[in-house]
């Protein structure tokens, strides 16, 4: 799925659309996305100029966007917005640097009346860089 196809599902737009593609999608179950960390991204001018690293909060947001695609690609949720309701057990295991390619995975484990929980993991190569449990509501 291309960036334009992602935009047809979730409402995020540049500069806050943090996905470049979706490579695997099973609506209401599982998805895999990719983010190519652009060395020219404005964020690196301030985080940190002498030792640039992608902020962890942006990794979590990219993971949540994969989860939103998994949810909102299903016809029952098409046209809705997925809002964060919580983040638990977030762990940052390795830094993500300009030029890295992140693989972002999200599995939805519970869905009930528009409220859901997902397990999300981010990788650079085979290295786990971040994991978190995320919760959301579709409205």
The catalytic residues are 47
Q: How far apart are CA 94 and CA 56, in angstroms?
A: 10
Radius of gyration of the chain (CA): 14
Sheet containing strand 115-124, edge to edge, reads 21-26, 30-36, 101-112, 115-124, 127-138, 82-92
How many angstroms separate the most distant Cα atoms in the chain? Answer: 47
Whether residue 106 has a cis bond before it, omega within 30° of 0:
no
Q: Which residue has the tokens 């860089």?
A: 129
Exposed, middle or buried, 34 (CB in 10 Å: 0-12/13-18/19+)? middle
């Amino acid at each position: 799925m291309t960036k334009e196809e992602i935009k047809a599902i979730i409402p995020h737009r540049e500069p806050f659309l943090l996905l470049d593609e979706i490579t695997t999608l099973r609506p209401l179950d599982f998805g895999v996305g990719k983010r190519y960390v652009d060395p020219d991204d404005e964020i690196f001018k301030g985080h940190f100029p002498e030792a640039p690293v992608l902020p962890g909060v942006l990794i979590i947001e990219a993971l949540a966007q994969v989860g939103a695609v998994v949810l909102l690609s299903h016809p029952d949720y098409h046209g809705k917005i997925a809002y964060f309701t919580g983040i638990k057990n977030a762990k940052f295991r390795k830094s993500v640097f300009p030029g890295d390619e992140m693989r972002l995975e999200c599995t939805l484990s519970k869905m009930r009346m528009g409220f859901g929980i997902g397990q999300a993991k981010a990788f650079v190569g085979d290295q786990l860089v971040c994991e978190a449990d995320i919760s959301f509501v579709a409205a």
